Amino acid sequence: MLPNTRAAIKKLATLTRTSNNSEFSGNNEDDTINISEKKYKLKEYRDIYINSHTQSFDELERNSRSRSTATLYDTEQYINTICNNTSKYVYPFISQLSQSIPASTFTPNKVYDINVCVYRIFHVGGNTTPFLQFKLLKRTSSNEMTFPTFKYERTDDDVSSLKSETDKLCLTKGNDSIMRWFKTHANDIKFKGFIKTSDAVSDDTTACYLIYEESITKERYKTLIQTELKNIKSTENWWWACTHEIFNTGMVLIYSVSSVVRGLFAASPMIMFLSDNNGFTYETPTILYTGYTEGSSLEEIRLLGPRKLTDDNNIMNPNIPRRNVNENRMYGTQYYFYDLDGVFRNACYTYDGSKHKYKKIPDPYIFRYAVFLGITKVTLFDTDNTTTNVSINGATTFRDTKWPNEGFESIFHGKYKFNGNELSPVFSIFDNTQFTPLSCHEVDASTVPYEFSDTLFKFVKLT
């Protein structure tokens, strides 16, 4: 899904072998440890939740407000376990930036919009593979996600800039903006370089970017799990977006990403890639979602991710109308994730087997994850059996539980319609080292129809 960046990948391999000034390291990391050999180190915490939080959806409905205990959020040992689970990485994009701003960049007495791109490399949490995030500002008027900006004009009487080869005043204003926007943690944000993109036809589309890195310290992670993983409201101004959201979907949840942000990614595709010390490019995670898994607590799903969905073997039950993957466990007992459209069904409704119909879940939430798909198997259905041995009409009875033994790390099927019903897209993930929780969002229950709807995404809102 990423762009055709064969040239960029080739360039990455060269840069990571020749450049040392863009290398960053996690703490307490043994260089000899292979990423694939690292294991998820939060089993003890997951076991605590599995043993102590076992509520059914009926119990949640009766006592929906009792799910707000904060055991793990206040555990210092948990924070230490999370923050010590790090890996080495190289970010070649940084080595391509200008470390100063050429004075010739700006025409005197012309006002420029300077875009401020703050990134962080998420190398803490349950997943051992680092990945990139970019801080975006959600405009109140349009709900569009964009880079924050400040106005800059170099005047004729700016003697220091005119005599210098670099424009130090622009950087000073950028640093001042960082201090103004992020008062509590501005010291964790450092300038990394300047980049200018321009259209080949017109200078009117020239865009200037100041690039900053925000470090995730142990103290910052404490704040992160108390804010981003607790519950992000739709009124929040600052959001962390991943490469998949910016470049592939152009959306962060239900909010669009501006052309200014996407333009930087299109002009400089190397901004999307991290590598290890040997020049191996890390996988870019896909952003997927889930709702509650029965028996889980809010804290467990927020911090540790969903539980495995048990294969209930009810696929052949003729009394279940509108069967979908949430009930059918087509791919065995694994971790199931959905795209944004499908997750609202998963998050807002559960199937009542006694009444053979869907019912609303009280106080629904959706949970957002960075998911590393790895080697993916794609299931294809068709009407004439030319690409698989399964007809679309047999999709509801289709089962593939052997895929983990075939060397695959995930399996996927897209959206299919048949016999008046719909099979929703689903990803099944093999191992819990393949995903990391990013954020939690409460759905406005008043916007969820009482009766199950196939078009839920169109009108459900977040609180």
DSSP string, 408-463: -SEEEE--EEETTEEE--EEEES-GGGEEEEEEEEB-GGGS-SS--TTGGGT--B-
What DSSP string describes 80-133? HHHHT----EE-HHHHTSBSS-BGGGS-TT-EEEEEEEEEEEE--SS-SS-EEE
* pLDDT > 90: percent of the chain: 31
**pLDDT band at 33; cut points 50, 70, 90:** very low
**Per-residue pLDDT, 347:** 84
Domains of the chain: 6-25+87-272 (3.90.79.10), 43-76+285-458 (no CATH)
The residue type at 54: T
**Per-residue pLDDT, 306:** 86
- Which tokens sit at 105? 């960049």
**Per-residue pLDDT, 439:** 92
pLDDT tens digits, 190-235: 999 999 987 544 445 678 999 999 998 878 888 887 888 888 999 9
Mean pLDDT of 73-101: 78
Task: Identify the DSSP state of 239.
Answer: E
Residue with tokens 């004439």: 384
Mean pLDDT computed over every residue of the chain: 77
Task: Identify the DSSP state of 129.
Answer: S
Highest averaged pLDDT of the listed ranges 117-121, 356-360, 413-417, 418-422: 117-121
Residue with tokens 């990403």: 257
The residue type at 172: T
**Per-residue pLDDT, 12:** 52
**Per-residue pLDDT, 237:** 93
Residue with tokens 């898994």: 293
Backbone CA torsion sign across 69, 75, 81, 82 = positive
**Per-residue pLDDT, 453:** 67
**Per-residue pLDDT, 60:** 47
